[in-house]
Structure formats: structure tokens, C-alpha cells
């Protein structure tokens, strides 16, 4: 009981800390098969969720399961200030550095779903940062 109360308090603190700041939830989806260049449908084989901001670099691991042939990304604007953001920049490393491998644009709405990508990611990590006006 004490553990779940601590988690609830931490979640409330996190939401309060982000008030008035651009924040998006990003899902990194791994697929056994989907049509490259088209939206992915159904349930992904694996999914990892992170938060993205314009000043932090959040990451998750690339699943190297032999059955994974494709990847896709989804994002949802968590705060109203995220409407000043163009989208999510994605790197194939753990530090949001170097040349990005993908950009997931927001298309004038709070939710965006990227198209199915081929297995272009190297083992390791994918990292995320919001691309927003007024932030480097």
C-alpha cells in the first residue's frame, strides 16, 4: 500500500512540474510486419513509452528480437504548450546527438502517428527530444 501511495505522489509531482511546459508522450513501436510508408495497424510486438521535452533527452532501448522487421512512432501532446512544437526528433543513440534518424511531425493536432519504417535502427537506443519554437 505504501509503495502505490508513493508512486501516486511521484506521478502528481511530475505532472505539476510539467505544467506550463511543452511535454509529449512518445511511443516507440516494434512490429513483426507492417507496410513501409503506411500507418501500422493492429498490436505491435513490443512498445516502449517515454516523455519528451525540448530540453531533455529521453531514451529507450531498441528491441533486437529476430521477429522484428519494422518500427513506428506515435506522439501525443501532454500539455497545451506543446502546440508550439513542430514534432519529435529521433536519434539512434542514447544522447540525442549527431544526425537524427527520423522526425515525427505534429500535423496541427494533439496526436500524431508515424508511418511504418523499415528495420533501419542499430542495436542500442533511440532517444527523443521535442522540436519547439524558442528552444534550442
Instruction: Write the DSSP assignment of 57-118 as a string of letters.
Output: -EEEEPP--TT--EEEEEEEE-SGGGGGEEEEEEESSSSS-SS-SEEEE--SSSEEEPBPEE
H or E, element range at 131: strand 125-132
Per-residue pLDDT in tens (0 to 9) along the chain, 136 residues: 443 333 333 333 444 444 579 999 999 999 999 999 999 999 999 999 999 999 999 999 997 788 999 999 999 999 999 998 999 999 999 999 999 999 999 987 899 999 999 988 999 999 999 999 887 6
- 8 Å CB contact between 126 and 104: no
- 8 Å CB contact between 29 and 63: no
CA atoms within 13 A on the CB side of 72: 22
pLDDT attached to residue 18 = 43
**100 Cβ contact partners less than 8 Å away, ≥ 6 residues apart:** 89, 90, 91
**107 Cβ contact partners less than 8 Å away, ≥ 6 residues apart:** none
Q: How many CB atoms lie within 10 A of CB 86?
A: 13
Amino acid at each position: 500500500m505504501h509503495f502505490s501511495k508513493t508512486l501516486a505522489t511521484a506521478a502528481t509531482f511530475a505532472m505539476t512540474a510539467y505544467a506550463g511546459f511543452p511535454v509529449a508522450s512518445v511511443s516507440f513501436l516494434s512490429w513483426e510486419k507492417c507496410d513501409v510508408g503506411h500507418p501500422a495497424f493492429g498490436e505491435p510486438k513490443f512498445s516502449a513509452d517515454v516523455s519528451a521535452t525540448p530540453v531533455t533527452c529521453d531514451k529507450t532501448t531498441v528491441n533486437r528480437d529476430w521477429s522484428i522487421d519494422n518500427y513506428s512512432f506515435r506522439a501525443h501532446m501532454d500539455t497545451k504548450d506543446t502546440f508550439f512544437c513542430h514534432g519529435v526528433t529521433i536519434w539512434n543513440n542514447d544522447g540525442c546527438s549527431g544526425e537524427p534518424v527520423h522526425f515525427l511531425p505534429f500535423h496541427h493536432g494533439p496526436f500524431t502517428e508515424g508511418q511504418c519504417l523499415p528495420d533501419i535502427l542499430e542495436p542500442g537506443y533511440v532517444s527523443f527530444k521535442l522540436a519547439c519554437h524558442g528552444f534550442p
